[in-house]
Amino acid sequence: MRKNILILSLFVGILGSLSAQKFAIVDMEYILKNIPSYETANEQLNIISKKWQSEVEAKMQEVQNMYKNYQTELVFLSDEMKVEREEAIIAKEKEAQELKREYFGPEGELFKKRQSLMKPIQDEIYNVIQELSREKDYSLIVDKSSAMNIIFSSPKIDISDEILIKLGYSK
């Protein structure tokens, strides 16, 4: 709570010192929802993600089946066969974890795919925001969808629709 009050008072202080300067608000969620290519890219990512998730789940199911079989056959196995089966189960589990990391890890395929699909759209929006900032002499443009400390913003300073129009998407 203290942190929020401190951040809010700092933000108010900065805005007070910028009173002679112009600022605006954008709503990136609103903008992105009104761009069809963004929605299409999101759908593609969801389809790919579900496909990869099912692959990972299938591998994990294999591991579980191997373990269940091992459990039921445990009394009939020699010590060296037990070790062999345990190693096979562990290897299969590592394989499943590696596949999961390859697809969904921080530098995984899903991250790369998201970058390739979303970055051009985000760059285009950013360029339009910069252009509007230069044209209308804005000193500060804040994204209200990501700034949690904005309690209220006047619709007069929201330039989200202007950005959509400049991008070629009407309201």
Question: pLDDT tens digits, residue range 108-155?
Answer: 999 999 999 999 999 999 999 999 888 888 888 888 877 667 767 777
Q: What is the pLDDT of residue 11?
A: 63
Estimate the crossing angle of helix 36-73 against helix 109-136, to 10 degrees. Answer: 160
Helix (H, G, I), strand (E, B) or coil at 150: coil
Is 159 within 8 Å of 24 (Cβ atoms)?
Answer: yes
Backbone angles phi, psi at 140, to 5 degrees: -145, 130
The set of long-range contacts for 131-135, using a CB threshold of 8 Å and a minimum separation of 24, is 131/166, 132/24, 132/159, 132/162, 132/163, 132/166, 133/24
> What tokens were used for 3?
């942190």
**Measured between alpha carbons, how far is 42 from 32 in angstroms, rounded to an integer?**
10
> What tokens were used for 48?
């790919």
The letter for the amino acid at 85 is R
Average of per-residue pLDDT across 37-47: 93
User: For residue 93, what pLDDT band results from cuts at 50, 70 and 90?
Assistant: very high
Q: What is the pLDDT of residue 145?
A: 78
> What tokens were used for 13?
């202080």
Q: What is the pLDDT of residue 12?
A: 63
Tell me the pTM: 0.68
